[in-house]
Amino acid sequence: MKLTKYQKARLLEYNWDVVNADDGQNCNWIEVNKHNNEIFSLIVDLFGLTGENNSVKLLVVATNEGE
């Protein structure tokens, strides 16, 4: 996935760092499985998922480390 210039500008405007993957894309996948029970449960609750599958994949397009 490649973000548009507008999308990148909006993220940067709010102090988000756009992900720059090695393949030129503006994203990275994170997969969390049920073995990481606490994190898995948090993600399921946060995104309103069912949690019926063994893992959840998240597509990350930007990051921000708190001050």
Tally the domains of the chain.
1
For 55, the domain range is 5-63
Residue 30 contacts residue 58 (beta carbons within 8 Å): yes
Q: What's the farthest any 2 CA atoms get from each other in the chain? A: 38
Whole-model pTM: value is: 0.75
> For 14, how many CA atoms within 13 A lie in the half-sphere containing its CB?
8
The whole-angstrom separation of Cα 11 and Cα 47 is 21
pLDDT in tens, 29-65: 999 999 999 999 999 999 999 999 999 999 999 999 8
pLDDT at residue 18 greater than cutoff 70: yes
- Go through the chain and tell me how many residues it has: 67
pLDDT at residue 7 greater than cutoff 80: yes
pLDDT in tens, 22-36: 888 889 999 999 999
Residue 62: partners with Cβ closer than 8 Å, 6 or more residues away: 11, 16, 17, 18, 19
